Structures are given as C-alpha cells and as structure tokens.
C-alpha cells in the first residue's frame, strides 16, 4: 500500500498542513497521487469549526469505501481528529483505520504501517512545541505560498473549538521563516501568505509580529505579503505604519468582528467593545486610507436579541467592509459556550438574520467594487481559464479580490501586472491590461 491521497477541508492552515503531510509521506516512501480513486490510502484533513462538518466527513468516508474493489485505508486528520476521536473510533458503521491530530503528522508513517496490519490506530496528542519548522511543504496551490509562522490559540473565544483541536500558541523562529521565504523566492514565488490561528500574536523570544513582518518584507524578490487570520486585539501602531510604508506588504486586513453588540462580545470573550472596534477601524484607515478590510460575523450567538443583531448591522454599515464572511452560530462540543449557554436563538431567527445581513453586505460590496472602475491596480495571475471561458485570465488584486482579464498569450501564472478595472459585480472585478 503505497499511493496516498489527502483531501482538504476547512481553513488555509489545513491547506498548508496537507502540504506538510505530503512531504512527510513522500520522504517515507509513499507516492502522492492526484485522484482519490487511484490511492491505496485516503486521508481526509478535516475541520470542525462549524455545523455539519462531521456529517459531511461521515458521508465522504462511506462514499470512498463504496464501489472499491481493492482494499483502501481511510484516515482522519485535522481538527475533527482531536475533537471527535472517540466518536470516530466508536462508530461501528464507519470504518476508519487511523486518526492523526494536527500535531501528530510526523507519526503518520508509523500509524499507517500499524493500520496496514489491521489495527485501528490513533495519535491526537497536542504539543506545545511542534511547528514543523524542519518540514518543507510540497506546495501545490498556484503562485501563492502559504507559510505557517505560528500554530494554536490561547484566546478561548467562548464559541470556538480551535484551542481544543489545535492546542497552545507556539511560534517558529524568525530565521527559519526568513530562510523559507528566501527559498521560495529562489523557486520563483512572488507572493507569500503568513498563516496562524492568531497570526499577529506571533512572538518568538524578542521578535514580535511587527519585527517579523519587517524582516520578511526585506527579503529581496518578495513582492506581495499577506497575513491571516489576525485578532483585533494585536494591531499596534508600529505594525500599521510598517504596512503603510512597505510596498510589498498588501494593504489588506482581516478584522473578525464576530458581533456588533458589546454585551455579546463580552459573552464571546472577544476582549473589545463595539466602540473599541470602530475606533481601531478609524485608526487603521487614518494610517492606510485605501486599506481593504474583511471580517467574520457570527449571528444568533446565545441570548442575542433582535436589537443586538441590529447593532451588528449598524457596524457593518458604518465600517463598510470589502468582504464579510457571515455564519450562523453553531454550538461546538467542549467550548465554554456549549457548557455555559443555551443555544437559544431559533434556527428561523438565525436564517432571517443571515439572509438580511448577506443582502446588506452584497450591496456594500457592489458599491465598493464599482468605486474601483477606471482605477489601475496591480494583480497577480493565478489561473488561466475562468468559469465562463477557458482562455480568460483569473487573478487577484492587493485586496485579495478576484479580477478577470481577457485572454493574453504573453501572460502566465505568477505574473504581476498592472491592469485597469473596467467592470464590477459583487464578487469579481473585470479588467484590461494597460
């Protein structure tokens, strides 16, 4: 049994982890294949941040098993592995051969070999030290390279499962990160995205996140730097000034608001009030007037009233984020919210709120995208071929918005070029080469 396939769910950290897993396995004699059906060992790198993730994975396991003539080993990796280990092992109808949590990927060769012997195996121990800094990921997702600079989370927002699935915060050394960026540049990469569950809580000995950004942006040849996902609590002025100063740091900030009511924010343990959040947005814009802001919102957190929901609406209208990812609250096992609060906002109310807020945000986004018509922007080419036309070019601007361009034989994936924006929908911009 030598051919492996990893299917990825969830966040960018999981995308990165799949790349780590591929390196670990190929170094140990396995061959990574591109099709699930061609593999002898199939792994699902799972997410458990919201609702139906489990059901989706259970269905997928059945689907993989069905219609297989030759035997296949099925493994569960990622956040569900830590959080649902017992469920996964006890479920008789579900045949899982091995389970590995986010800090156990170096043990995969052993787990797989034990599972090949017919034994169900697992390792979901969380580590305070594992950063995989000695593993060079097998990159496979186009011209952007993900780099995890820290892992884990110490914040304990009451709704969130991540501290339980991914453990305590730990950061890689700046030297090790800078070396990785230099290697990437040598291999032709122009864009990196620094990743962490709390990316701006990065801290390694004397090096803060601001110091790290300074070092990374000084690497010769790196032209675009993004980072995600930050927490609003860690945006010192020196970081914002550095972002404004450096051409290669993209003026894009993800600022997860979660809720507009200060009472709900307190219950969520977010450590800021509505007023503080709005003050921070003003401060950021005073330093970077053209910054692109995105956010995450949770609707229907326990006890959220209609009036409190309206405060979220009010903040969205005030800030006018470029993008908002809006979710219905979903109770997660083991979290403080699950233990202390009743999930008492009805599904109907949550649905009503999400439809309303998505419509408002769609209008804002369309307006903001239309403001860009006629402007020149620098884009990074990601793909040749759009949903509409195999020859159109798909790219991303500095605000991480998709820009579609007409076919052009002189352009290839990874090129950075100036374009003029000619049209806008809520989801994409269209442009032409200048």
Question: Which residue is closest to ligand 5AD by CB?
Answer: 296
Q: What are phi and psi of 197, to 5 degrees?
A: -65, -25
What pairing do the DSSP bridges indicate for beta strands 203-204 and 98-100? unpaired
Residues 292-311 that bind ligand 5AD (CB under 6 A): 296, 298
198 interacts with ligand SF4 by CB under 6 A: no
Q: Which does 411 bind (CB under 5 to 8 A by kind): ligand SF4, ligand 5AD, none?
A: none
Return the bridge partners of 416, or none. 380
Window of 161-169, 172-180, 243-251, 340-348 that interacts with ligand SF4 by CB under 6 A: 161-169
E strands present in 176-334? 191-195, 203-204, 207-208, 224-228, 252-254, 292-299, 323-328
x/- letters, 227..256, toward ligand 5AD (CB under 6 A): -----------------------------x
Please say which residue, 269 or 422, places its beta carbon nearer to ligand 5AD.
269
CA 222, distance to chain mean position in Å, is 21
Q: To the nearest whole angstrom, how small is the minimum distance from the Cβ of residue 260 to ligand 5AD?
A: 13
x/- letters, 150..189, toward ligand 5AD (CB under 6 A): ---------xx-----------------------------
Among positions 171, 191, 258, 361, the unique one binding ligand 5AD when judged by CB under 6 A: 258
Q: To the nearest whole angstrom, how small is the minimum distance from the Cβ of residue 94 to ligand SF4?
A: 20
Helix (H) or strand (E) holding 262: helix 262-268
Window of 41-49, 58-66, 343-351, 369-377 that interacts with ligand SF4 by CB under 6 A: 41-49
The answer for residues whose C-beta is within 8 angstroms of residue 338's C-beta and 6 or more apart is: 331, 332
428 interacts with ligand SF4 by CB under 6 A: no
327 interacts with ligand 5AD by CB under 6 A: yes
CA distance 151 to 131: 7
Collapsing DSSP to helix, strand or coil, 167 comes out as coil
CA distance 125 to 301: 30
Q: Which does 79 bind (CB under 5 to 8 A by kind): ligand SF4, ligand 5AD, none?
A: ligand SF4
106 DSSP 8-state letter: G
**Torsion sign over Cα 169, 14, 104, 22:** negative
Q: How far apart are the first and last CA of the chain?
A: 53
CA distance 386 to 394: 6
Among positions 332, 368, 396, 430, the unique one binding ligand 5AD when judged by CB under 6 A: 332
Kindly list the residues in this chain that would bind ligand 5AD in the complex (CB under 6 A). 49-50, 159-160, 256, 258, 296, 298, 327, 329-330, 332
Kindly list the residues in this chain that would bind ligand SF4 in the complex (CB under 6 A). 10-11, 13-14, 47-49, 78-79, 161-162, 165-166, 197
């Amino acid at each position: 049994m030598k051919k492996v396939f990893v299917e990825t769910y969830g966040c960018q950290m999981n995308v990165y982890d799949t790349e780590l897993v591929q390196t670990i396995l190929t170094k140990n004699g396995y061959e990574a294949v591109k099709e699930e059906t061609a593999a002898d060992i199939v792994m699902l790198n799972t997410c458990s941040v919201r609702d139906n993730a489990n059901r989706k994975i259970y269905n997928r396991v059945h689907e993989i098993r069905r219609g297989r003539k030759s035997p296949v080993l099925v493994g569960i990796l990622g956040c569900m592995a830590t959080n649902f280990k017992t469920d996964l092992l006890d479920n008789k109808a579900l045949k899982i051969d091995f389970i590995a949590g986010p800090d156990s990927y170096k043990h995969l060769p052993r787990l797989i070999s034990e599972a090949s012997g017919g034994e169900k195996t697992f390792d979901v121990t969380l580590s305070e030290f594992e950063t995989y800094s000695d593993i060079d990921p097998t990159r496979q997702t186009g011209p952007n390279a993900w780099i995890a600079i820290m892992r884990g989370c110490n914040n304990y927002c009451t709704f969130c499962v991540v501290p339980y699935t991914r453990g305590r915060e730990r950061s890689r050394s700046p030297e090790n990160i800078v070396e990785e960026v230099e290697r990437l540049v040598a291999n032709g990469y122009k864009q990196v995205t620094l990743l962490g569950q709390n990316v701006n809580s990065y801290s390694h000995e004397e090096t803060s996140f601001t110091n790290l950004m300074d070092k990374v942006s000084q690497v010769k040849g790196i032209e675009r730097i993004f980072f995600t996902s930050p927490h609003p609590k860690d945006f010192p002025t020196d970081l914002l000034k550095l972002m404004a100063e450096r051409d290669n740091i993209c003026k894009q900030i993800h600022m997860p608001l979660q809720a507009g009511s200060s009472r709900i924010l307190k219950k969520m343990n977010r450590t800021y009030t509505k007023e503080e959040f709005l003050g921070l947005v003003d401060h950021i814009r005073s330093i970077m007037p053209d910054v692109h802001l995105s956010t995450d919102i949770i609707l229907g957190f326990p006890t959220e009233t209609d009036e409190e929901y309206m405060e979220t609406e009010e903040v969205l209208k005030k800030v006018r984020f470029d993008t908002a990812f809006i979710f219905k609250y979903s109770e997660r096992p083991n979290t403080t919210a699950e233990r202390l609060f009743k999930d008492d906002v009805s599904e109907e109310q949550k649905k009503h709120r999400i439809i309303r807020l998505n419509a408002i945000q769609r209008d804002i986004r369309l307006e903001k995208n239309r403001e860009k018509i006629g402007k020149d922007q620098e884009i990074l080419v990601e793909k040749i071929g759009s949903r509409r036309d195999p020859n159109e070019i798909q790219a991303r601007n500095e605000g991480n918005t998709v820009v579609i361009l007409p076919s052009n034989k002189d352009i290839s994936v990874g090129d950075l070029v100036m374009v003029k924006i000619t049209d806008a929908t809520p989801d994409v911009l269209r442009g032409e080469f200048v």
